[in-house]
Chain A
Amino acid sequence: MKLKTFLLGTCSALLLCGFANAETLTIATVNNGDMVRMQGLTEDFTTKNPDIQLEWVTLEENVLRERVTTDIATKGGQYDVMTIGTYEVPIWAKQNWLLPLDNLGADYDAADIIPAIAGGLSVDGKLFAAPFYGESSFIMYRKDLMEKAGLTMPDAPTWEFVADAARKMTDRTAEINGVCLRGKAGWGENMAFLTAMSNSFGARWFDEQWKPQFDQAEWKNTLQFYVDLMKDAGPVGASSNGFNENLALFQQGKCGMWIDATVAASFVSNPTDSMVADKVGYALAPDTGLGKRGNWLWAWSLAVPAGTQKAEAAQKFVSWATSKAYLELVASKEGWANVPPGTRSSLYANAEYQKAAPFAKMTLDSINSADPTKPTVKPVPYVGVQFVAIPEFQGLGTTVGQLFSAALAGQMTVDEALKQAQDVTTATMTEGGYIK
């Protein structure tokens, strides 16, 4: 009896010691389908790493940014791993807020990360965040409506073709809008789309001396084209539509074309949610023949803040979540179609993935055609395709987005919106010391 009690006591003590030694990582993330799926699969990680426990903090995107920025700037140390995008990485890495990811393990194969994505997450050749899923933007279109309009979508169309097709596909009585584009104000909403679109029209946010360029003809051409097209072929109330609103419209068969994130392809082709799943075709984002397409580049990525006390465990987790083995794990549990896209070249060479995701090649081509270091036709002093990687951009992008959204809603003219955008951007850049 005594021996039994002793053994039980010893086992309990050992168990308690085990729990006491376990490190708990706090991971801040957004509520995207791929992130939620990862939370469900973490048992694989904790089984392989019994000394590490995981706690999740899931937040709305803007609240997450605010929380993570506050925490990192004040060295609050609340998070050990954080989900951030390609906008934050270059800025935060330069501030020494992030740890370089140089301990991801021997079998991590960092060279397999798609070069365009790795470039957006690196500073001075060092990777500061590992991509969890990556995306560009492209055209999703209804093959049946295109055929009905007597047109054939080329793999790489021009804006002229898209506008013509959109006007021909529009059927107001049948509630079909030729094209659905973002109109909701926000640096990550309408300005992500419009900045990428403006690149294909040869526009840029700033010249080499950081002088705002909204007073140039390229921006006028971009915004006028967008407003006219949306007036003729866009949905009612488009100035309130972001990704989710347009997704719902497209899934209900109310859009002939939708130009948005490549990750949307898996939503619109899913027969459970989409009424048009078997009628969707894909094409590269349009251009105007100037050598740049209107597609963006983004990656939700995992980074380790400099203030963490658990850097080693944090890097272990980042390595697991962004590895090739994780993609295989998702495929084995939920099928290849649900694997987080846009991060690894090897995924796009996988025949099973290509079979499960008919949009795979177009996604890879779109990602590869975006260059954050040379986003537009003319030279620029900044990095970023659909954003400008400076701290001021978050506020500035949203302010300009509100003006452009107002122009779309008809509350002001294109010229007025551009004039005000030029004024507010000049004031901000002068205040920030960019313009001497």
Chain B
Amino acid sequence: MNPIDDVNEPAPAQPAGEVQSLADAREVARRLRARMAAAVLGRDEFIELTLVALLADGHVLLEDYPGSGKTTLAKALGNSILDDRPEDQIADFRRVQFTPDLLPSDVTGSTVFDAATASFHFRPGPIFAHVVLADEINRTSPKVQSAMLEAMAEKQVTVDNVTHRLDALFFVIATQNPLDLAGTYPLPAAQLDRFLFKLRMEHIDRDSELQVLASWRERRDVDRADLPRVTRSQILAARRVIDEQVNVAPEVQECLVDVVRGMRADERVVQGASTRSLVLMLPALQARAAFHGRDWVGAEDIEALAPRVFGHRVELAPGVGSIHEVLKDVAREPFERLARTTLARR
């Protein structure tokens, strides 16, 4: 059972536009999850992490083999968001297929001459959408990658010295193929740092795969209109509510900082995680806590998110197997300290 569902509190029947409490925010996440889970089977964990990233205002890099459901996942997310401001011309979902000959303007948009008005005006590129799927992002040139980078970090694009703001709900799901590396431009560390999570998707389990085969026809034909969608402003409100109402205790922050510092001091780590990663991680921890029906961040949130957040930011010494073993060692003391403080009288 997914943790989002497992706390038996009555769900509000319908968040009537306004998202004011954590329960409302959770309902938003629950609806999104339901729609995505209906589209992609056996990916519950990734769906949850994607939603955490969405509500924490981060971006996700998916690393997987072709045909594992990345696009479906991203599309389902885009389709689940109801645009309650159609006048701004921003699409729900756009997909950009990155190729070596792509130009930055193909992504950001360009200024074109309008013969009717005899003036230049900006035509937004595919990046002007709520959810953007950046497929095979490592196949394009660094020039395009860095244009993406500005967009992701600053939520704005600059074309011909004019800065255009992106939508507040700008969420990038980038993918890359971990095997087929010939002729690619691997993302530099600075760019990887912009992604909140790098998720490595494994093949789904047997039952889910069987279920996919059994139900793919219906899922292709049936529009999931019966499942409720959420609006753009509801997601934005949920972000705000989570940020305001989920408490991150000083002890938890200490624990987080100690883990990162311990990792930097460990001899198995060549390059430690940045301070920015800590800043990015806080909202993610809050979002995860909210998903699990809590208004406080606990050690389990760190436990669950740390490998995802630090995995692609930390460079390990040659011969060290995985970030897991490093984390297990460096986290022992901070976790022990955190656990001990909770029993203290106050």
The judgment on whether A and B are partners is no
